[in-house]
Structure formats: C-alpha cells, structure tokens
Amino acid sequence: MSSTRTPDAVAEATTGRLAARRLTLAYEDRTVVHELDLTVPDGRVTVIVGPNACGKSTTLRALGRLLKPRGGAVLLDGTELSRIPTKKIAQSIGLLPQTPVAPEAITVSDLVARGRQPHQHWWQQWSEEDERAVTDAMDRTDITALGDRSVDELSGGQRQRVWIAMALAQETDLLLLDEPTTYLDISHQVEVLDLVRQLAAPAADGSRGRTVVTVLHDLNQAARYADHLVAMKEGRIVAEGHPADIVTAELVREVFGLEAVIVPDPVTGSPLVVPGAPWTPGPR
C-alpha cells in the first residue's frame, strides 16, 4: 500500500510536539496499526479519517497513552509518553474517548469540574482559575443551563457536549477527540466543529492556538474543518496533507472503495465528495 505525503506535510514533520515513530498497536494477537509514523502539526486541526476498523481510534488512544504500543513509541516534546508522569501528561494532553462513562448520579457541573483535577494541588483544591475554566467551558458548549442536572438524565447529544466541556476545562495545549460529533444533530455537529476551529485559531496577541487531533467519520466534514488530513486504511497512513491537496477521487476509491466526484464546497471551497453511481428507485 503506497503512502502519500504532500510537501506541506513533510515540512511540518519536524514542528510537532506530539509524534508517533514506527508505532505498532495490537489487541492480543491482532495487530491493528503497523509501524506508523505521524507528526501532529502544532496549532492546527488534524483530522484522521478512514473506513471502520482501520485503526483511527486505536491510534488516537495511543497518542493519549490509553494504549501501550506493541512496538515503536509516542513522543511528547521528544520524550516517550511511557517515561512521563501521568499528571504531567494530563496537563499537556486532553483526551475525549469514544464512549466515556460518567459516575452514577454525578451532575453536569461536577463532571465538567473534573477536567481541572490535573491542575490542582493538595494545598489548593479549587481556585478562581478553576472556576473560570469550568464556567467558560460550559458556556462554549451551551450547557450552562444544565449545570444542576444529573448526567444520567440527559440525551445522548447533551451528554456528548458535557464530555466535550470537561475536555475543554482541562485547558491543555493538545486536545484529542474521538468522534466528538457522535449523537449530535447536524446543528450541534457544526457548533462543535466550529468550536474546534476556534480552539486552534491564533489568539488576539498572536500566540498559537491549541493543537487538536480528532477522528471523524464524515469525510466532507473532515475536509471542511481540517488543516491537516490523515487518511488511514488497514492500520497504515495512505495519504496526509491539506485536504485540498489529497482529497481526490483516487484517494476515496483507494481508502473507502467508493467511486466519487470531487467538487468545490460552495460555501468554503474545500473538497466536497459526491458519491458516484447514486441509488435510484426502481419502477413501481
């Protein structure tokens, strides 16, 4: 299987704090990811796409140290994650897994507040900075009015926004999101992905925004919101780079086995994948 890296992708290969080197990941005897090399560009939105069971979420879990590599390593600032204390990693990398589980009967505000645990010390359990971070995270995800409600009572979409708020409250420089639009209606999908773009945008003082890595199923959403797109198949990277450079009919055919036509998105100009040979109803 060939792998394509655009010139921009190659140029960014030395500028990322978070990287994987010859990363091999497995569940028992089944290897899922094979000697993967990936550098996450700083201050950008990186989106990983690919068919089901291609290793997207497994790779994200390893980047967040939820899965121990079978071979190779994940590096943060040049140091293997396995050599870095857990609390220090939690202060640098925030991770929202695909199916998080909330403690029974916990309220929305209490769950979001748990995102502040990596920043607390035995001599100071809660601060004005913690309060500000939680309030801001709840406001940005539109869940302030739900603060006193039990997470158990919420709809799937509401719960997903609460989990995203907890990840935001952690205020890490690197944020890993595994399918953050799951359970959300189209309006809230757009809101969440717009928020992801805002997080990565440079601040008013010119400082770099957050680095975000997310797994998405929707290729058109990925092409619209990604600065850096990584296409995977069978545990390997097939192509990576800016969506405009790599999203082609050939790539869609190779990765997804789908004939498609690529046209400019009429709103953003990003690549828009139109499936070929559409279904048509038969005669009645």
> Taken in order 54, 242, 76, 170, is the CA torsion positive or negative?
negative
Tokens representing 120 are 């607390």
Provide the whole-model pTM: 0.87
User: What is the reported pLDDT for 174?
Assistant: 94
User: What is the reported pLDDT for 208?
Assistant: 85
- Structural element, H or E, at residue 212: strand 211-215
CA dist., res. 18 & res. 174, Å (int): 8
Tokens representing 79 are 């140091």
Reduced to 3 states (helix: H, G, I; strand: E, B; else coil), residue 284 is coil
CB-based contact 225:56 (threshold 8 Å): no
| Residue 18, CA distances (Å) to 67, 80, 108, 114 in order | 15, 10, 31, 24
Give 62's contacts (C-beta < 8 A, 6+ positions apart): 20, 23, 25, 33, 68, 69, 74
Question: How many other C-beta atoms are found inside a 10 Å radius of the C-beta of residue 36?
Answer: 23
User: Where do the H-state alpha helices sit in the chain?
Assistant: 7-11, 56-63, 86-92, 108-113, 128-140, 156-169, 186-200, 219-225, 243-246, 249-256
User: What is the reported pLDDT for 125?
Assistant: 75
**What is the full per-residue pLDDT of the chain (284 aa) written as tens digits?**
556 666 555 555 457 899 999 999 999 889 999 999 999 999 999 999 999 999 999 999 999 999 999 999 999 999 999 999 998 998 899 999 888 888 889 999 999 999 988 877 655 677 888 999 999 999 988 899 999 999 999 988 888 889 999 999 998 899 999 999 888 889 889 988 998 998 898 878 887 889 999 999 999 999 999 999 999 999 999 999 999 999 999 999 999 999 999 999 999 999 999 998 766 677 76
Residue 154 buriedness (CB in 10 A; 0-12 / 13-18 / 19+):
middle
User: What is the reported pLDDT for 121?
Assistant: 67
CA dist., res. 138 & res. 147, Å (int): 8
CA dist., res. 68 & res. 28, Å (int): 12
Give 73's contacts (C-beta < 8 A, 6+ positions apart): 20, 21, 22, 23, 80, 81, 82
User: What is the reported pLDDT for 2?
Assistant: 52
Question: How many other C-beta atoms are found inside a 10 Å radius of the C-beta of residue 11?
Answer: 11
β-strand partners of 46:
213, 228
User: What is the reported pLDDT for 279?
Assistant: 67
